[in-house]
Structure 1
Amino acid sequence: MRNHTLIYWKDDGWYVGKLLENPEIMTQGETLEELEVNIKDAYIMMYVDDVPSDYQTKEIAL
């Protein structure tokens, strides 16, 4: 397990954060502790979990 740097700030009462080393991983939490849990979950989903072979795609407007 490696250490990462969490960058975070308050926005409308929520803690919002992303990883300095992986800025594409971003999430929020009602508390700093919840933000830490959520950023760890987001990291695992992005880099550890495998995408199943039967995945689907959908275009969305942003």
Structure 2
Amino acid sequence: MGKSKGARIIITLECSCRNLPNTEKRAPGIFRYTSSKNRRNTPNRIELKKFCPKCNCHTNFKEIK
């Protein structure tokens, strides 16, 4: 049997540009990343700056449930 990961959980990060009007050259849609975090060390929602191909720039990605 394999060990359980314990406090580490998989989270989904979603771009904060999802509410902006669709005036960019890129295709429409919401871009998401998946990552993992330690539930004990970071109980609050994470916000990371990553590249969004829809915006074609680095934007803040917020954790969603």
Structure 2 length normalisation: TM-score? Answer: 0.22
Larger radius of gyration: 2
Higher helix share: 1
Structure 1 length normalisation: TM-score? Answer: 0.22
Which has the higher relative contact order, 1 or 2, with Cα contacts under 8 A spaced 6 or more apart?
Answer: 2
